[in-house]
Structure 1
Amino acid sequence: MLKFVSILSVLFLFGCKTPKTQVSATIGKSDFTIAFGSCNKHDLPNLLWDDVKASNPDVWIWGGDIVYADTDDMTELRRTYAAQNEVVGYKDMKSEVPVIGSWDDHDYGLNDGGVEFSAKQDSQQELLNFLDVPKNSPRRKQEGVYTSHHYRTSWGTVSVIVLDTRYFRTAITPDTETNKRLKPNTYGEGSILGEVQWEWLAGELANSSSDFNVVISSIQFLSNEHGFECWGNFPHEVDRFNELVADSKAKGVIVLSGDRHISEFSKTKIEGMNYPLIDFTSSGLTHAYSKFSGEPNPFRVGEVVSTESFGVLEFDFDKGEVVFKMMGDGGAVLGELRQSY
């Protein structure tokens, strides 16, 4: 089926908008297709780029940890991004597929880092350079890499709302009582997004007329008992997000996350929403938690995939349905979930 997709990527920042971008034509089985992934080391083999391209996505979304630099040396960070851009499979995919995304801690520059990272302003510019964001974009002047992109097809519309869970994130709490790394902050203490980004997100959701609203979070939103980084370490921020989504009446809100070196589907019902909230975690691209033996997740649907994989979302606007797929090497479908909206 020939699919003509008119793509409009728009950044909302205090009333500023970027101009319309190109029109493209692609062939695929769905009305619109997103491919995404995270946790990618440029110096390890990535066997998935040909599979990403074969999935015929309308956009590739980096979910964070694009590279592993862990540095405040911008020369080193720039070199690492440049090396990733020269990876043959990625370069080939990128020549045909638009690329957007966010960062996580290892490309941000500080393991488990947040608001305290001294080089975050310079690191932001390097990420935007890697993503080919124009020098005159308002994103170059704002604090944080959050943005939104809006895609209009002949059948319907998708908004991709890219969050920044690093730039404003305040202190996390070490767990000194169990064998877990972290425990939740005292309710009400700290923030993941920071107030300016929260206000921006509220506006994005309240003003959205899109059929689907895909929210990119580098860390998991629903899974909250594993003791690593997640929204659950800030339980009041989870409640705020849930209330925001419900109050906004935005259609088809979906969360995509990474970070964990595993892939899994999580799902919950939120009061005031007439569809469930799904958090699709896809990680990692070049290295996975191969020794994974289980962990609690009260929201999990299906099985955890602990081999290298990427995520695909196939949208059917007529049916109001999304097919979520965990994809492995050779086009293997490692997990699948269908959801009507």
Structure 2
Amino acid sequence: MVRRTTHPGLLSRRRILQALAALPLGCGARIDTPPGEQDVGWRALEPTQTLTRIAFGSCCDQRRSQPIWRTINARNPELFLFIGDNVYADAEHESRLQAAYDELGGSDGFNALRRNTPVMAVWDDHDFGRNDAGSEYPLREASQRIMLDFFGEPAESVRRTRPGIYDAKIIGPVGRRVQIILLDCRYFRDPLLPGGAGPSRFRPNDDPAATVLGAAQWDWLEQVVREPAELRLMVSSFQLVSAEHPFESWGLFPRERDRLFDLISRTAGVIVLSGDRHRGELSRIDQPPLSYPLSELTSSSLNLPLPGSEPNRWRIGAQVEDANFGWIEIDWSRERVQLALLTDTGRVALEERVELAALAV
């Protein structure tokens, strides 16, 4: 656990800001603590807790207003997954990476979340450090250290001792276990190939040696999915199922995509969570090699949504073009999962139910 300390001379100012934050405000209002003046710890994750309410989101521009935290906090999630573009750093110097996280750390809405809700996080490109970057990014080691420092990763964590920030945890008792799998789709990913057809800037890399996850992470993933769990939430910072749009997805590495589909086909209970696209949607694919219908819930963006439709033959329902977050409710007694996207005002924009029995192999 990490607890930020405050200089004694700043204490009264911080208390004033906290008191102001408790006053009724419009949904777009923002009263933030200046970077470096936070006194906020991280809520610990209890591994034996039965999870029933999980929120997740991506693409949070720390320079913009973030009213969505108020809506998320009001729903009292038991876990929040921050799944990429958690800040926009796009940095060529370590100081800019650090400054981006410091600015997020000045958001009172986000600080209220991390005081009350355990947070698990993985990055995408803009918080990794450069748009569409992979293993070629020169600051990846520094970025890993800065990211783990900000999110309070314990000094003894394996994420501190190996390249990449991939992680997995199982939460809950036998019969109600949720496995959270955070894939690192940046640290080891080969550079994208330029020169795509049509509107795409990139073309698929069909080289058998081309990788998204890298050898070590693949070996790790093959092991962790063998651990028993009733539900597995597999986080990929960019989309796995949808591969028709001209932007980054697993479709740019078709052999890696097929390999992950094959692994999922042998692994019960998987639902994929993704972000990146600045719009939300639910995708479902049911074709070989998959052994059951695979659902992917994409939530993006927390505060920087973009209009416009993208092709996706696997989409269920309509795209969500408002600022949104993902919401997962687990009904263990009925053995079902409710997937939803909610807007920053709390409106349910998309909703779909998945029976756990339908995720068997």
- Give the letter aligned to residue 153 of structure 2: V
For residues 241 and 161 of structure 2, what CA distance do their matches in structure 1 show? 32
The alpha-carbon distance between structure 1 residues 93 and 196, as it changes in their structure 2 partners (threshold 3 A), is same
Gaps of 5+ in 2: 1-43, 357-361
**TM-score, normalized by length of structure 2?**
0.83
1:162-188 residue CA offsets vs partner (Å, 9 max, x unmatched): 000000000212234312222212253
% identity of equivalent residues: 35
The match for 2:109 among 75, 81, 89 is 89
1:229 and 2:248 matched: yes
**Deviation digits for residues 249-299 of structure 1, max 9, x if unmatched?**
x33101100000010000012546553111111000111112x1x221111
- Structure 1 distance, partners of 2:196, 2:303, is 31
Deviation larger for 42-51 or 178-187 = 178-187
Task: Determine the structure 1 residue equivalent to 2:12.
Answer: none
Residues 323 and 176 (structure 1 numbering): CA distance in 2 closer, same or farther, change over 3 Å? closer
Choose which of 243, 248, 254 in structure 1 pairs with 2:271.
254
2:318 equivalent to 1:303: yes
Aligned to 1:147: 167
1:270 to 1:253, Cα distance in 2 relative to 1, 3 A:
farther
1:214 corresponding residue in structure 2: 233
Match of 1:276 in 2: 293
Verify the 8 A CA contact 2:51 2:172 in the aligned structure 1: no
- Cα RMSD between the aligned structures? 1.9
Contact 1:49 1:89 in 2 (8 A): yes
> Does the Cα contact within 8 Å between 2:51 and 2:171 map onto a contact in 1?
no
- Matched AA of 1:296: P
**TM-score (ref. length: structure 1):** 0.87
Offset of residue 33 of structure 1:
1.4
**Which residue is equivalent to 1:322?**
337
For residues 141 and 286 of structure 1, the distance between their equivalents in structure 2, rounded to whole angstroms, comes to: 33
Distance in 2 (CA, whole Å) between partners of 1:24 and 1:210 is 13
CA distance in 2, matches of 1:271, 1:22: 37
Change (3 A) 1:189 1:178: farther
CA contact (8 A) 2:261 2:289 kept: no
Counterpart CA distance in 2 for 1:272 and 1:183 is 24
2:184 to 155, 164, 175: 164
Q: Give secondary structure in 1 for the equivalent of 2:220.
A: helix
Q: Which deviates more, 187-196 or 141-150?
A: 187-196
Change (3 A) 1:45 1:129: same
Q: What stretches of structure 1 of length at least 5 have no aligned partner?
A: 1-20
Give the Cα–Cα distance (whole angstroms) in 2 for the partners of residues 97 and 313 of structure 1. 15
Q: Is the 8 A contact 1:183 1:227 kept in 2?
A: no
Larger Rg: 2
Report the more deviating stretch, 270-279 or 153-162: 270-279
Instruction: Select the residue among 168, 191, 201 that pairs with 1:181.
Output: 201
Counterpart residue identity of residue 177, structure 1: A
1:194-230 Cα deviation digits (max 9, x unpaired): 0110010010112x21110111110000000101000
Is the Cα contact below 8 Å between 1:63 and 1:101 reproduced in 2? yes
2:90 corresponds to 1:75? no
Contact kept in structure 1, 2:328 and 2:338, CA below 8 Å: yes
Number of aligned positions between the proteins = 313
Change (3 A) 1:243 1:274: closer
| 1:31–1:153 CA contact under 8 A, matched in 2 | no
8 Å contact from structure 2 (residues 47, 170) kept in 1: no
Out of 280, 284, 287, the residue aligned to residue 263 of structure 1 is: 280
SS at match of 1:331: coil
Mean alpha-carbon deviation: is it higher for 175-184 or for 141-150? 175-184
Task: Quote the offset at 1:43 in angstroms.
Answer: 1.3
User: Is the 8 Å Cα contact of residues 84 and 275 (structure 2) preserved in structure 1?
Assistant: yes
